[in-house]
Structure 1
Amino acid sequence: MSSIITSIKDLVASVLEVIVSVFHNAFDVTSGLLIAIVNSFIGTLRMALRAVGNIFEAAGGLGKFIASNIIVIAIIAGGAYGYLRYQSRQGRPIKVGDKKLN
């Protein structure tokens, strides 16, 4: 008689373990899915922030390039202006093509 009671007790314990295992697995799947969604959202935000940062970095590099070119052009223009002023002070005519400027 005690073996029948032990068997029923083991059967009930096994059924309860199966039910608990099903709920545990369902919770694990749900939490894993939620974590994946949150990580996907955070990853998208990180990607967007990095893209914006890279755009600003590229714009800064382009700005430095343009500023350095402006400086070089200004130096060349200043040199040309200085040369023309020097030539006119020396009394030499400044010609552009076939025309005299002074």
Structure 2
Amino acid sequence: MSAIVKSLYDLVSSLFEVVTSLFTTTGHLAKDTFHFAFKFLNGAVNLVVDFFKGLVDLAGGIAGFILGNIAILAVLSVGFFAFLQYQRKQGNTVQVGNKKLN
């Protein structure tokens, strides 16, 4: 008789463990799904932020390049104009081909 009671106790105990395991697994699955969704959304936001940050850095680099070139061209133009003015004050004419530059 004691073997029957023990086997019934084991049966009820294992059924309880199955139900507990089912709820525990469901809880872990829900937690992992939420964690995955949060990481996915966080990654998507970081992707968009990094993309626009890269665009701003690119625009800044291009603007710096253009402004640097404008500055160099301005210095060269001022130097050329000063050279022409110097030549004019000296009484010399600067010619390129058949064209007089001053």
TM-score (norm 1): 0.88
Q: Which residue of 2 aligns with 1:45?
A: 45
| SS state at 1:93 partner | coil
Shift of 1:97: 5.5
Unaligned residue ranges in structure 1 (runs of 5+) = none
Q: Which residue of 1 aligns with 2:9?
A: 9
| SS state at 1:68 partner | helix
Q: Which residue of 1 aligns with 2:76?
A: 76
C-alpha distance in 1, partners of 2:78/2:12?
97
Shift of 1:100: 4.5
Q: Which of 1 and 2 has higher RCO (CA within 8 Å, sep 6+)? A: 2
Shift of 1:95: 4.4
C-alpha distance in 1, partners of 2:68/2:6?
90
User: Mapping of 1:1-102 within 5 angstroms?
Assistant: 1-95=1-95, 98-100=98-100
Q: Tell me the C-alpha RMSD between the 2 structures.
A: 1.6
C-alpha distance in 2, partners of 1:93/1:9?
117
Q: Name whichever of 79-88 and 52-61 sits farther off.
A: 52-61
TM-score (norm 2): 0.88
Unaligned residue ranges in structure 2 (runs of 5+) = none
Cα deviations by residue, 1:56-91 (Å, 9 ceiling, x for unpaired): 111111121111101110111001100111111112
* Aligned residues with identical type, % of pairs: 32
Stretches of 4+ moved more than 6 A in 1?
A: none
Shift of 1:98: 3.8
